[in-house]
Amino acid sequence: MTITTLFDNNAAWAAQVEAEDPGFFRRLGQQQAPEYLWIGCADSRVPANQIVGLAPGELFVHRNVANLALPTDLNMLSVLQFAVQYLQVRHVIVTGHYGCGGVQAALRRVELGLIDNWLQPLRAIAEANADTLAALDGEAARVNRLCELNVVQQTRNVAATPIVQQAWRAGRALSVHGWIYALSDGRLRDLGCTVDGPEQLEPAQRMQAGA
Ligand code: ZN
């Protein structure tokens, strides 16, 4: 496959979409109104729209290595603010996946360079759950459990942002979900850590309106 194949694929795809739904691109060019923000891993095997069967215009997407939602990440925060404040999404979905290379790298404690800075929060989650992870049999099981623990933590990170808390104070219905995807069967699972309002967060993470 050469790089020009991608343009050929694109032309074929655009023609097919337009044939199935005439005017699709013209309408989409006028506005986007997605109900969902997806925060997922950059892994090529976890293509957001395809997994949940959504068309262009239906899913706002942010992806990075190991689906982190860090309060210091201007990129993630800008996506989150735009999605919540301007696009008025109803759901933010943090989606991890089993066998995540970023999570595995964090557990292995081998120096990789720049990316070690990015993976540091994963090492902190592993440290905080050292007993749980040590009790598991084998590296794959530990990686997969840390993938789940990471999603739960990132879900709470999103819920703790001023962006989400302001939306709740304004009476907006906004849910933050934590899901995980299995490469082995293509299925998503809900990790049951949805946060719908500030009362579901630790007291230290709840903010009052400022002056
Ligand atoms: Zn990954």
Note the pLDDT of residue 30. Answer: 86
Pairing of strands 36-41, 59-64: parallel
Q: Cβ distance 158 to 176 under 8 Å?
A: yes
Please identify which of the residues 100, 142, 147, 193 carries the catalytic annotation.
100
- What's the whole-model pTM score? 0.94
Ligand 1 centroid vs 102 CA: distance in angstroms? 6
Note the pLDDT of residue 211. Answer: 55
Please identify which of the residues 8, 21, 27, 45 carries the catalytic annotation.
45
d(CA 92, CA 84): 9
Per the annotation, the verdict on 41 as an active-site residue is: yes
Please identify which of the residues 41, 62, 156, 177 carries the catalytic annotation.
41
| Most distant CA pair in the chain, distance | 59
* Contact residues for 185 (Cβ-Cβ < 8 A; gap 6+): none
Ligand 1 centroid vs 165 CA: distance in angstroms? 28
Please identify which of the residues 62, 97, 142, 145 carries the catalytic annotation.
97
Ligand 1 centroid vs 152 CA: distance in angstroms? 15
Q: Can you give the pLDDT of all 211 residues of the chain as single tens digits? A: 899 999 999 999 999 999 999 999 999 988 889 999 999 999 999 999 999 999 999 999 999 999 999 999 999 999 999 999 999 999 999 999 999 999 999 999 788 999 999 999 999 999 999 999 999 999 999 999 999 999 999 999 999 999 999 999 999 999 999 999 999 999 999 999 999 998 888 877 787 777 5
Per the annotation, the verdict on 147 as an active-site residue is: no
At 127, is the secondary structure helix, strand, or coil?
helix
Ligand 1 centroid vs 186 CA: distance in angstroms? 14
Cα-based distances in Å from 24 to 32, 89, 95, 104, 105: 12, 21, 28, 41, 42
Ligand 1 centroid vs 99 CA: distance in angstroms? 7
Ligand 1 centroid vs 145 CA: distance in angstroms? 13
Q: Report the sign of the C-alpha dihedral through residues 203, 73, 39, 120, in that order.
A: negative
Per the annotation, the verdict on 100 as an active-site residue is: yes
Q: Cβ distance 132 to 145 under 8 Å?
A: yes
